[in-house]
Structure 1
Amino acid sequence: MSVLVVTGTSTDVGKTVATAALAANAVAAGLRVAVCKPAQTGVADDGPGDLQEIRRLVGDSVRLVELARYPDPLAPDTAARRSGRRLLELDEVVDAVRALDAGYDLTLVEGAGGLLVRLGVGGFTLADVAATLVAPAVVVVAAGLGTLNHTALTVAALHSAGVACRGVIIGSWPAAPTLAERCNLDDLPAVAGVPVLGRIPAGSGALDAARFAVRVSEWLGSPLRTKRLAGDASVVL
């Protein structure tokens, strides 16, 4: 069993599509996959959230678990206080992920916003969740100017928390990259100290599930690679 945490340098960098791609890659390898989204914000109770987007892109074979939902598009702890709803607790999130891990080959945990966004009681973050689970992380990053600094800071924060970072995924790679974007692709490994694991083309979230599944290996490599990222040394890439 394996757990892999998916975080980002900020909001709107493509975490959900990258999580869907990792899930689809693992499903293609014949793995049983679960995705946990501890907190969803900015969505009405009856509205479609990030997990529904993952369902649309990957299909019904993936187990999806959301622990809390808040209507305001804010950090989860702030959104919880404004709505009068309960805040998540670290142990609650960890226990839910461990329960999924006991029944699935791979459990992906998608954060909200960036790594150090406060998720609930005591201001715990996704870094705290990963550290408690002793789970590695991948970081979804932007392609353009500013991404070198944001990525280096996020990877450094993971390392400071004792969390292994497997690498970064560029969440929205443009069809016609600028000079800055092309240079960032070369510079990211040196600046962040971790590999670039893949590039997801801009607009990939608009694909249907069939085309998404076909394209995923082009973006992330071998279907077995996702499980290897989560720490299963038995998988040879």
Structure 2
Amino acid sequence: MGSVLVVTGTSTGVGKTVVTAAVAAAALARGRSVAVLKPAQTGVAEGEPGDADEAARLVPGIRAVELARFPEPLAPATAARRAGLPPLTAADAAGMVEKLGHDHDLVLVEGAGGLLVRLDDAGGTLAEVARLVAAPVLVVAAAGLGTLNATELTTEALRRRGLACPGAVVGSWPAAPDLAARCNLADLPATARVPLLGAVPEGAGGYGPETFRAAAPGWLAPALGGHWDADGFRARQAPGGSGRGQSQ
């Protein structure tokens, strides 16, 4: 079975899909076959592209799979209940991960919202999916004010459950970062107790596929298959620094 990486966020809208696509692009560039699984997609109508479709648009050549879709932009358990549809369970997601793992070198599992968002009314979460498939969980964090607390809470929840966390990635690094964002580059790994493994520039989701695939390894550290240098990035972005090279 191929390797599995679960991708969660500290909240909604922090850039999980683009980070997932970037990790997929870096793996594809290294000759690995990749599948992206979105267990539960919410807030997208039938026939509209979801997060898995967006990852496949940015990174042609990967396999994208969506297990369940619910139209209202709510937690999957709530959205399923309101739609009168059967919820997706953690066991359902884990079973698909296992199937995809037999045919792919890397399976990326993108959650909905944060780590402990409920998939069903029995209390299933993305954390439970990660436990069932024995996979590490990558945390996607916001850049600015408030991210230290949210990221630390997420990594603390992972540790309490015995789940490995390779690190955190800033999902949307501003073109003009404010003081809080610049300071967070040093403070985030210290408070969350995990390494900073990348910073994706804001707007990267709007890149064309060729540009995205070429640039993605430069946003991710070697642990994620890229060549991003955390220390160099911090030095350039530190208060009083040049602020240049945001995607290097």
TM range (shorter): over 0.9
Query: 2:11 is matched with which residue?
Result: 10
1:158 alignment partner AA: L
Output one character per residue of 1:92-125: Cα deviation in whole Å (capped at 9) or x when no partner. Answer: 1111101111111000000000110001251210
Percent identical = 58
Counterpart contact for 1:90–1:121, Cα < 8 Å: no
Three-state SS of the structure 2 residue aligned to 1:77 is helix
Query: What is the rounded CA distance, in whole Å, between the counterparts of 1:85 and 1:133 in structure 2?
Result: 25
Contact 2:197 2:224 in 1 (8 A): no
Unpaired runs of 5+ in structure 1?
227-237
Q: Secondary structure at the match of 2:122?
A: helix
Pairing 1:35–2:36 present: yes
Q: Deviations over 1:153-180 (max 9, x none)?
A: 0001111111100000000000111111
Contact 1:89 1:121 in 2 (8 A): no
**Runs of 4 or more above 6 Å deviation:** none
- How many residues align structurally? 225
In structure 2, relative to structure 1, the CA distance for the partners of 1:224 and 1:152 (3 Å cut) is: closer
Query: In the superposition, relative to structure 1, how do residues 79 and 224 fare at CA in structure 2: closer, same or farther (>3 Å)?
Result: closer
| Distance in 1 separating the partners of 2:28 and 2:224 | 9
The 3-state SS of whatever aligns with 2:114 is coil
Aligned to 2:241: none
Q: Which has the higher contact order (CA 8 A, sep 6+)?
A: 1
Aligned to 2:136: 136
Q: In 2, Cα distance between the equivalents of 1:223 and 1:31? A: 15
Q: CA deviation at 1:91?
A: 1.5
Question: 2:31 is aligned with what amino acid?
Answer: G
Deviation at 1:90, TM superposition (A): 2.0
Letter in 2 for 1:7: T
Q: Does 1:124 align with 2:107?
A: no
CA contact (8 A) 2:7 2:20 kept: yes
> Residues of 2 paired with 1:132 and 1:166: CA distance?
18
Query: For residues 9-57 of structure 1, what are the alpha-carbon distances to aligned partners after superposition, in whole Å with 9 as ceiling and x for unaligned?
Result: 0000000000000000100000000011000000111111111111110
Q: Distance in 2 between matches of 1:82 and 1:114?
A: 20
Corresponding letter in the other structure for 1:46: G
Provide the alpha-carbon RMSD of the alignment: 1.2
